[in-house]
Amino acid sequence: MYIRIGYEFQFDLPTATHVVLMLHTHPEKAHLLQRPERIHIEPLGLRVDGFADAFGNRCSRLMAPAGKLHIWADNVIWDSGQREPGIADLMRHTVDELPNDVLPFLLGSRYCEVDRLGSIAWDMFGKIPPTWERVQAIMDFVHKHVTFGYKYARINKTAWETWYERTGVCRDFQHLAITLLRAMNIPARYATGYLGDIEVPADGLPDDFSAWIEVFLGGKWVTLDARHNIPRVGRVLIARGRDATDVAMTTSFGPAKLERFRVWTDECGPEQIAQPDSIYVPPSAISPVAAAIMPFAA
């Protein structure tokens, strides 16, 4: 199957500002794009330098002048159309069995206070068999006990706060699940990208970038999602890291007012591959007013 993916941002910058973008399709998925990947930036002619961060995510940086900064991309990606596999019967590893590069994902991080939730996690999940069942129990708990809503979004909300408030957007679901898993010595990391309503009932919400997690089971990283808690079709990875700190879509080193934000991720036909890049307006597009009050909510 083919999925049309893309985004549009518009910022108003009161002064010249350095900006870092983490908007490229992840290298693991980039080979599935059906067109060359381009990030369109206006004003034209700005110098844009690309680099890879410590987690292997593709990034770009630029010095933007004062005024309007318009950033957009549009592409088509191929997807197998298969649902993600579950975790039943995957082996859970003891800490001494973990590869060295997995160990950092047992530690606390900016939004995942393992030290504060450690004793709570062991009290709640310590009696569950130390297998994949313990992982699923944590995912089930977060999915059931946290209420989703954009009105609950805060850019500085942590797993500890989500635990007590029991509300949040998808990043909050994932931060709490990651923290509880790490507290139980189960490696977990944060991921973000596109996830449309493909082969599931539409939720009636505008498209947005989505967050999920990856858990190390059976000698590999496996995708899970505490918000939806079911295997999905058409997930497209952009970036991964310890938590949301590491995968900000845009970072401005100065004041920047977000005036417009849209994301699209819709199943499409192969005929759209040959179409030129455009600022696509899908049925799920959101208005500038709606975008202004819910930037980066996922």
Domain boundaries, the chain: 2-80+248-293, 95-247
Label residue 223 exposed, middle or buried (CB < 10 Å: 0-12, 13-18, 19+). middle
- CA 124 → CA 93, 138, 141, 183, distances in Å? 20, 9, 10, 11
Peptide bond into 43 cis (omega under 30): yes
Mean pLDDT of 93-109: 97
Q: Are 169 and 150 in contact, with CB atoms under 8 Å apart?
A: yes
pLDDT at 282: 63
CATH of 2-80+248-293, one of 2.60.40.2250, 1.10.4160.10, 3.40.190.10, 3.40.50.880: 2.60.40.2250
Provide mean pLDDT across the span 118-138.
97
CATH class of 95-247: alpha beta
Q: What's the confidence (pLDDT) of residue 283?
A: 53
* pLDDT bracket for residue 285 (50, 70, 90): very low
Contact 142, 226 (CB under 8 A): yes
How many angstroms separate the CA atoms of 109 and 158, rounded? 10
> What phi and psi, each to the nearest 5 degrees, are found at residue 120?
-65, -45
Split at pLDDT 50, 70, 90, the class of 289 is very low
Cβ atoms 237, 25 nearer than 8 A: yes
Span 231-264, pLDDT tens digits: 999 999 999 999 999 999 999 999 999 999 999 9
With beta carbons less than 8 A apart as the criterion, state whether 115 and 180 touch.
no
Could you tell me what percent of the chain has a pLDDT over 70? 94
